[in-house]
Each structure stands twice: as C-alpha cells, then as structure tokens.
C-alpha cells in the first residue's frame, strides 16, 4: 500500500496543478475580452425615433401599413431593404416602431457653410484701380469688388509664385477673363 501512496500523491498533485492552470487561463481570457456594447432596449422609444429617421416618406407609409395589417415579416423585409441594417437590427427596429408609433418627419435641410469672403466678392461703393506695368507694357484692372486688402493678397500670391491662384482671385474680384488676369499677374512678379 505504501508503494501506491507516492504515485497516487503525485497524480493528485498533477491534477490539482492542471485544474489551477485551466482556471487561471479562463480568468485571463475573460479579462482580455472587451465588454459587450450595451444594446438599447428593442422596445424603446429612442430606437423607434432613430429607426423612423432612416426612412423616407414612402417607406415609412409602407412599413406602418404592414404593421397595421399584422404582417411583421413583410415589415421587417421592407425595413431591411430600406436601411441595409442587419436582420436582427431590422427586427428590433420594427418591434420598436410597432410599440412606439412615430410620425414621419422630413429630414432637416443641411445648412451649407458660409462661403469664404474670397469666394463671394463684396461690392464696394467706389471703383478700385490696380495698375501693373513692366517696360512698355501696362495693364489696368478697375473694379468695385477690389480693395487694398484683396489686391494685397493677390500681389502676395503672385510674388510667392502661385500665379494661378493669384489670377483666379483676380478674376473673382473683377470682370476680366482668366487670360487677361494671367497677363496682369505676369507684370506683378518683379
């Protein structure tokens, strides 16, 4: 019996060691997994509002007609095709829309950003004259959309080597063609 005691003891110690290792490994695996994102309650009014916002007026009308007729599968199919959401998300959205009916709301118009002051030239009450000359060649630009500040920016662009941007800015703030603006800018790069 004593001869069996040592191998049984070794077997018990090895089994205990394996159990401890498996337990530690499973705990480490649970800690490294990210926590699941909390899903909104499928019957929440917030989900219904978000789901209704994804639909245009015709899709909204068709979906609620199917819900009213008790055709949940057809309603889920309409929602899935309209939004491209997954099957589970579509099912939850239709359930939320059925539980919390939402009126159709047209999407609000997106407000365009205010244009840059260089894009929409301001008209001034006076006429500004810009003159450039080189040798015997002289060019003049006269406009009520130019002032010292804008002309200074145009000159800075021309002197920095960005003649296309300078010519474009000049055509935006005057009534000359791009060819005439390039000729005028060519005289500024002294």
H-only helix segments in 69-176:
72-83, 87-99, 148-159, 163-172
Roughly how many angstroms between the first and final C-alpha of the chain, as a whole number?
110
Burial degree of 137 (CB within 10 A; 0-12, 13-18, 19+)? exposed
Burial degree of 129 (CB within 10 A; 0-12, 13-18, 19+)? exposed
pLDDT at res. 73: 92
pLDDT along the chain (190 residues), means of 10: 80 89 79 50 77 90 90 92 90 90 75 59 78 85 85 87 88 88 82
pTM exceeding the 0.85 threshold for the entire prediction: no
The residues near 125 (Cβ < 8 Å, ≥ 6 apart) are 144
pLDDT at res. 36: 45
The residues near 115 (Cβ < 8 Å, ≥ 6 apart) are none
pLDDT at res. 109: 59
pLDDT at res. 92: 92
Of 156, 12, 92, 187, the closest CA to residue 79 belongs to 92
């Amino acid at each position: 019996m004593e001869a069996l005691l040592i191998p049984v003891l070794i077997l018990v110690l090895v089994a205990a060691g394996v159990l401890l290792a498996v337990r530690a490994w499973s705990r480490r695996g649970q800690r490294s997994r990210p926590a699941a994102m909390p899903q909104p309650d499928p019957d929440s009014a917030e989900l219904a509002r978000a789901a209704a916002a994804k639909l245009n007026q015709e899709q909204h009308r068709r979906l609620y007609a199917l819900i009213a007729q008790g055709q949940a599968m057809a309603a889920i199919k309409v929602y899935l095709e309209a939004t491209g959401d997954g099957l589970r998300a579509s099912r939850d959205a239709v359930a939320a829309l059925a539980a919390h009916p939402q009126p159709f709301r047209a999407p609000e118009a997106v407000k365009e950003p205010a244009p840059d002051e260089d894009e929409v030239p301001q008209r001034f009450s006076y006429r500004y004259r810009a003159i450039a000359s080189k040798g015997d060649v002289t060019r003049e630009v006269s406009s009520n959309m130019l002032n010292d500040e804008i002309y200074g920016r145009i000159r800075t662009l021309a002197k920095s080597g960005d003649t296309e941007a300078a010519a474009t800015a000049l055509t935006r703030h005057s009534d000359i063609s791009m060819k005439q603006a390039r000729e005028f800018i060519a005289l500024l790069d002294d």
